[in-house]
Structure 1
Amino acid sequence: MDKVTEQMKKLTELDGISGDEREVGRELENLLAPHADEVVRDRLGSVFGKKAGKVSGPKILLAGHLDEVGFMVTQITEGGYLRFTPVGGWWSHNLLSQRVAVRTEQGKLLGLIGSKAPHLLTNEERAKVILLKELFVDIGASSRAEAEEMGVRVGDPVSPVSEFTTLRNGELWMGKALDNRAGCLLAAEVLRRLSEEGISHPNEVYAGGTVQEEVGLRGAATAARMIEPDIAFALDVCTSYDTPGMESYAGSCGIGKGPVLSVLDSTMIAHRGLLKLVTDTAKELSIPLQFETSMAGGTDAGRFHINGAGCPSLALGFAVRYLHSHNSVMAKQDFEQAADLMVAVIRKLDRTAVEAILR
């Protein structure tokens, strides 16, 4: 594996559901610190590396989000099984017989999501969507007392377990939590290029990751208040429409076809001036762009753009297959092109350019 793929593997295999992002935050800080003037955190755990090209220049925020979708223990049954609630959006049929990790105060426990055996299902049950409340986690405990002795408590976070790998000779990345460790790594990669390659930029860059995006863009609000950016980019993912069964949907984004710009979602309408700057820059670099419009979700840009008196913001990222499951797929090429594009955009964002965007 090349270095950036190894970094992606390490980040995705860490556990970090919303509200329990500490492990991921520490690893992202390790990636940011060598290339930053300083590392800053808000009180919820969002972490950013600051690099000043020009101290008096505008503040540019690049943010992935540290958290992944997962679960939380809500009950320990008399038989030692764990009932749970989703943290973030899940489709229950993606969960049957999948492995999970329960993080307790005594350490991690491997578990398996179980349900009724197919042999025992009625015809009516076979035809319906399984409810999440009907599923449970089996950690091998024989009783509630044994599960508690193993360290399990109500409120413990539960994360998907999936080993990162590649497809098509390394061209495609596959694993859990690409949503949105890919955005976090993109922020770190842009900061690395600005530092190691000695690329000048007329601004102060804050690159890193927020917490609790999957449960309401919460870390985006606190991070924006802390940094007070002049321009903000949410580095995130979107649905890929290039798989069977998606033909009837209006979206056209697919993996390997270039970075994606979100023009409209449930939390934000893209800032027209910033959108033009990014699309013009992509054209100059011959980087293909894809455009997404969907009211089914949102990104941290939904909080960034309403911070203070307003902050021109844009969501940029990658098309990803099989979002919010134990295994997603994206193209490494899309990541590399997004990094090229963001570096070029940052080099343009001096005070004059920011004022022009606002007009």
Structure 2
Amino acid sequence: MSDAKKPWNESMPEDQFALMRDILAAPSPVGLEGAMTYGVLKPYFESFSQDGWKLHQFKGHAGVVLDTHPGQDEMFSVMIIGHADKIRMQVRSIGDDGKIWIDSDSFLPMTLIGHEVKVFSEDPENPGNYRTIEGGTVEALGAIHFADSALRTGDKGIKKEQLYLELQIHGENKKQQIENLGIRAGDSIILNRPIKRGFSPDTFYGAYLDNGLGCFVAAEVARLIAENGGTDNVRVMFAIASYEEIGRFGSRVFAGELNPDAIIAVDVNHDYVAAPGIGDRRFTPLEMGKGFTMSVGSIASEQLNRIIETTAKEKDIPFQRDVCGRDTGTDGMAGVLAAVDTAATSIGFPIRNMHTISETGNTSDVLAAVHAIAESVQAMDAMDDGSGKLRRQFQNNHPRLDQAEPLGHQGSDKPEGEDD
């Protein structure tokens, strides 16, 4: 395959970038994921879904799963999971002066100051109906003139209890003006910045790459599998989960109900090379623009990783190994958390400024993840013959370190082509 035929070596086409932007822009705070799952991804799934495929829907949350072989439990099954829920702020209370005091959730308070947001308020008179308010910003201190000296020098930071939403309310009965809008405690607030292409080649930035990107990857893998005629021996479930940011609850429901043999979670990762102030911590040198990441450690299956790594090397798709310790931190843990026997791993892409309004990524890493997963699914489909062969391979071929071969010193010569 020439470089010209390797999408991860090319700029993402504009129509594909527009789809990614639409997925990331869908307002889907925790518990209200339907805008992304039903508003964007369900219609996209339906646009290419093959005869016999089924879209699973759920009662307790707005997650969806596109299933290539519904009900065929005898087949080896692979679930590819992204999560639609976004971290959000919530209204706590309303002050007499018109300030709307808010919770910061999983944001660092100081990263929120001055940024435009959208408020999604449930109509008190019509529960289940939501209105949106734009034009507000998150504030904490007002002008620098009112901050004490420690805040001015940076010796003291902003506390989450200081955050409020500024709607420019003035005049009489300020609190009543807010209450007349129907804004109540618990209403969701999200950052208002759709992604844009970045200054450097193949980069992009904006809010909520975490984790609309994982959903985009799952959807694009589904499209590629469909365009290739589907799979014959492996059942694939393209899952868009909810509640990941508060405990990975949606994906464990998927695992518990659909019982996949393998799970591939897709979620953002960190660019540790560019992260400020952590050089002496010796993190794994994951870097934006160097390919997708693959978790090693925690519950990551060596057999599943072996298939993905082998496939990536065969197709010349760049990847980086991510040391994840005790917990992948992603929906890759869904099977374990649901007490389901599944081989699992987590695929990602290094981004910068996670959980801010200016998260930054590289389209080449995202495309590398899309094609690595799609090619790995095709490889697994070719490994099975419909008799349960692949499931038995996973059961019977766990690595045996007691059979490891002794390794001696290998000398000091560098591999051919490497500089001294």
Common topology (TM > 0.5): yes
The alpha-carbon deviation at position 304 of structure 1 amounts to: 2.3
Any residues of structure 2 matched to 1:130-279 within 5 Å, and which?
A: 130-142=158-170, 143-168=174-199, 171-243=202-274, 244-249=276-281, 250-264=283-297, 268-279=298-309
Any residues of structure 2 matched to 1:333-344 within 5 Å, and which?
A: 333-344=364-375
- % identity of equivalent residues: 22
Residue pair 2:68, 2:230 contacting (<8 A) in 1 also: no
1:118 aligns with 2:144: yes
Any residues of structure 2 matched to 1:344-355 within 5 Å, and which?
A: 344-349=375-380, 350=384, 351-355=388-392
Query: Which secondary structure state, in structure 1, belongs to the residue aligned with residue 37 of structure 2?
Result: helix
Residue pair 1:239, 1:253 contacting (<8 A) in 2 also: yes
Aligned length: 355
Structure 2: unaligned runs, 5 residues or longer? 1-12, 123-129, 397-420
The CA distance in 2 between the partners of 1:297 and 1:197, in whole Å, is 31
Structure 1: unaligned runs, 5 residues or longer? none
Aligned to 2:413: none
Aligned to 2:418: none
Q: In the alignment, which of 10, 14, 19 is matched to residue 2 of structure 1?
A: 14
Q: Deviation string for 1:227-257 (max 9, x for gaps)? A: 1111111111111123243423313111110
The CA distance in 2 between the partners of 1:277 and 1:358, in whole Å, is 15
Residue pair 2:140, 2:158 contacting (<8 A) in 1 also: no
Highest CA radius of gyration, 1 or 2? Answer: 2
Query: Which secondary structure state, in structure 2, belongs to the residue aligned with residue 52 of structure 1?
Result: coil
Aligned to 2:133: 109
The CA distance in 1 between the partners of 2:333 and 2:323, in whole Å, is 14
1:76 aligns with 2:94: yes
Query: Which secondary structure state, in structure 2, belongs to the residue aligned with residue 45 of structure 1?
Result: coil
Residue pair 2:311, 2:379 contacting (<8 A) in 1 also: no
Residue pair 1:16, 1:24 contacting (<8 A) in 2 also: yes
Q: Deviation string for 1:163-190 (max 9, x for gaps)? A: 3100247611211111100100111101
The alpha-carbon deviation at position 31 of structure 1 amounts to: 1.6
Could you state the TM-score of these two structures normalised by the residue count of structure 2? 0.80
Any residues of structure 2 matched to 1:6-45 within 5 Å, and which?
A: 6-26=18-38, 27-36=40-49, 37-43=53-59, 44-45=61-62
Query: Which secondary structure state, in structure 1, belongs to the residue aligned with residue 280 of structure 2?
Result: coil
List, as ranges, runs of 4+ consecutive aligned residues in structure 1 with deviation greater than 6 Å. none
Residue pair 1:232, 1:305 contacting (<8 A) in 2 also: no
Q: In the alignment, which of 57, 65, 69 is matched to residue 83 of structure 2?
A: 65
The CA distance in 2 between the partners of 1:133 and 1:330, in whole Å, is 31
Q: 1:107 corresponds to which letter in structure 2?
A: R
Q: 1:41 corresponds to which letter in structure 2?
A: Q
Residue pair 1:14, 1:24 contacting (<8 A) in 2 also: yes
The alpha-carbon deviation at position 289 of structure 1 amounts to: 1.4
Query: Which secondary structure state, in structure 2, belongs to the residue aligned with residue 333 of structure 1?
Result: helix
The CA distance in 1 between the partners of 2:241 and 2:111, in whole Å, is 26
The CA distance in 2 between the partners of 1:213 and 1:81, in whole Å, is 30
Residue pair 2:77, 2:260 contacting (<8 A) in 1 also: yes
